[in-house]
């Protein structure tokens, strides 16, 4: 009998211990109410003007070349430049000696070499001096600023009249031929501003001249001519470049830091976590727009400037979790 009473007492105690207050049970089911606030970092929503850009690779090309030619038959006595050297209009790049006067000097020097008597030597010296005085030498000058792209003769070579000595890519004719993807072509208009990045040099300003014929089917691109804002004097022809064409402007765009936008690579969706007035994290789906300078445009839904979005600590954060924003 005593054993039965003891067993009943134990069962009664266990039953009482297993019972919980309904309010306590509800609190345990709400993870947002359990534990301290989660530390996060946040930044305000702001409005900015963003530029829509189309980027395309290209190469520097000269639309015109200035030729330096021999004014008469002779010998190229010197050439002071070589391929790739920058030159200025009017610069002397070499000289040429006329063939007839060079022949006269050569003959006088041969006479001097063969002279045996004093009289012959004196006559030969006078002949050499006269030939040197009458030597016809002409300087070779460049007609325009630019860069030497090729040379067809070297110092000591014999050249004929009007023969090409060097070719200079005129700086004023330098352009960038950019290969723009065909889907982007409807956005390109003549006169649009371009930022040109070439060969590690500081960015150069340019404008779209027009779309050129000669699109390729292999990579689905179309050549677009980009004119420089100011002639780049020492830019090598053939240098690879990147043209960033400003095709549109989004004024007063709602933007958030890039780190605030979490993207799902599988579904393509994006969302951000807001810090609500209740001090809790609230997730919303968003439609991102342009990205520029570390900020992303939010096309939808509309967000009021000053609204705080979580930029760090939001990964895996449940909806409605209390958050503590750290500086």
Q: Which CATH number covers residue 120?
A: 2.40.50
More confident residue, 106 or 140: 140
CB 159 within 8 A of CB 75: yes
Beta bridge partners of 62: 174
| Number of domains present in the structure of the chain | 2
Distance between CA 86 and CA 195 in Å, rounded?
Answer: 23
Q: What is the mean pLDDT of residues 55-83?
A: 92
The single residue listed with the structure tokens 């039965």 is 4
Residue 144 pLDDT greater than 80, yes or no: yes
Q: What is the pLDDT of residue 34?
A: 52
Q: 144 and 204 in one domain? A: no
CA distance 52 to 244: 10
Residues 200 and 232 in one domain: yes
Mark which of 137, 162, 187 sits at the end of a domain.
162
Separation of alpha carbons 288 and 293, rounded Å = 15
Cα distance between residue 316 and residue 252, in whole Å: 32
Cα–Cα distance measured from residue 153 to residue 78, given in angstroms and rounded to the nearest whole number:
10
Percentage of the chain beyond pLDDT 70 is 84
Let me know if residue 57 belongs to a domain.
Answer: yes
Q: How confident is the model at residue 217 (pLDDT cuts 50, 70, 90)?
A: low
Rounded to whole angstroms, how far apart are CA atoms 61 and 67?
A: 16
What's the maximum distance between 2 C-alpha atoms anywhere in the chain? 163
Q: What are phi and psi of 170, to 5 degrees?
A: -70, 130
Q: In which band, very low, low, confident or very high, does the pLDDT at 322 lie, cut at 50, 70 and 90?
A: very high
Q: What percent of the chain has pLDDT over 90?
A: 53
Range of the domain at 144: 71-162
pTM > 0.75 = no
Instruction: Give me the sign of the Cα torsion angle 216, 219, 220, 222.
Output: negative
Last residue of a domain, one of 232, 249, 266: 249
20 belongs to a structural domain: no
Average pLDDT over residues 293-311: 93
Query: How many Å apart are CA 145 and CA 62, to the nearest integer?
Result: 12
* Boundary-marking domain end, from 142, 162, 182: 162
Q: How far is residue 240's CA from residue 257's CA, in Å, rounded to a whole number?
A: 32
pLDDT at 116 over 60: yes
Question: What number of residues does the chain have?
Answer: 327
Q: How confident is the model over 258-287, as a mean pLDDT?
A: 94
In the predicted model, is pLDDT for residue 227 greater than 60? yes
121-139 exposure pattern, b = at least 16 Cβ within 10 A, e = fewer: eeebeebbeebeeeeeeee
Residue owning tokens 């839904």: 301
Paired tokens of 226: 């980009």
Res 9: pLDDT: 45
Phi, psi for 126 (deg, rounded to 5):
-65, -35
Q: Tell me, yes or no, whether 259 lies in a domain.
A: no
Confidence of residue 175 (pLDDT cuts 50, 70, 90): very high
Q: Is residue 1 domain-resident?
A: no
130 half-sphere exposure, CB direction, 13 A CA radius: 10
How far, in Å, CA of 157 to CA of 281, rounded?
Answer: 81
In this model, does residue 26 exceed pLDDT 60?
Answer: no
5-14, 103-112, 216-225: which is most confident: 216-225
What values do phi and psi take at 65, rounded to 5?
A: -130, 140
Confidence of residue 233 (pLDDT cuts 50, 70, 90): low
Query: Mean pLDDT, to the nearest integer, of 78-87?
Result: 92
Give the angle subtended at the CA of 8 by the CAs of 5 and 11, to the nearest 5°.
155
The CATH number covering residue 194 comes to 2.40.30.170
């Amino acid at each position: 009998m005593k054993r039965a009473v003891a067993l009943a007492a134990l069962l009664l105690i266990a039953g009482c211990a297993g019972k919980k207050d309904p309010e306590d049970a509800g609190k345990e089911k709400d993870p947002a109410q359990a534990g301290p606030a989660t530390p996060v970092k946040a930044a305000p929503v702001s409005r900015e003007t963003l530029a829509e850009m189309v980027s395309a690779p290209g190469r520097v090309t000269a639309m015109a070349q200035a030729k330096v030619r021999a004014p008469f038959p002779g010998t190229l006595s010197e050439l002071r430049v070589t391929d790739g050297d920058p030159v200025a209009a009017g610069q002397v790049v070499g000289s040429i000696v006329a063939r007839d006067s060079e022949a006269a000097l050569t003959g006088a020097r041969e006479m001097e070499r063969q002279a045996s008597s004093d009289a012959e030597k004196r006559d030969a010296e006078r002949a050499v001096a006269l030939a040197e005085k009458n030597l016809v030498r002409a300087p070779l000058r460049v007609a325009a600023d630019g860069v030497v792209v090729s040379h067809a003769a070297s110092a000591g070579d014999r050249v004929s009249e009007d023969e090409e000595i060097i070719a200079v890519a005129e700086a004023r004719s330098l352009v960038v031929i950019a290969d723009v993807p065909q889907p982007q072509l409807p956005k390109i208009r003549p006169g649009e501003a371009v930022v040109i990045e070439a060969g590690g040099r500081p960015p150069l300003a340019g404008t779209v001249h027009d779309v050129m014929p000669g699109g390729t089917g292999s990579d689905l691109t179309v050549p677009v001519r980009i004119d420089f804002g100011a002639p780049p004097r020492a830019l090598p022809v053939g240098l690879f470049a990147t043209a960033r064409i400003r095709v549109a402007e989004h004024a007063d765009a709602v933007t958030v830091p890039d780190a605030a936008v979490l993207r799902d690579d599988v579904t393509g969706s994006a969302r951000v976590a807001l810090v609500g007035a209740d001090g809790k994290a609230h997730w919303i789906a968003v439609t991102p727009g342009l990205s520029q300078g570390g900020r992303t445009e939010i096309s939808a839904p509309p967000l009021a400037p000053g609204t705080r979005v979580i930029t760090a600590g939001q990964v895996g954060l449940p909806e409605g979790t209390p958050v503590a924003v750290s500086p």
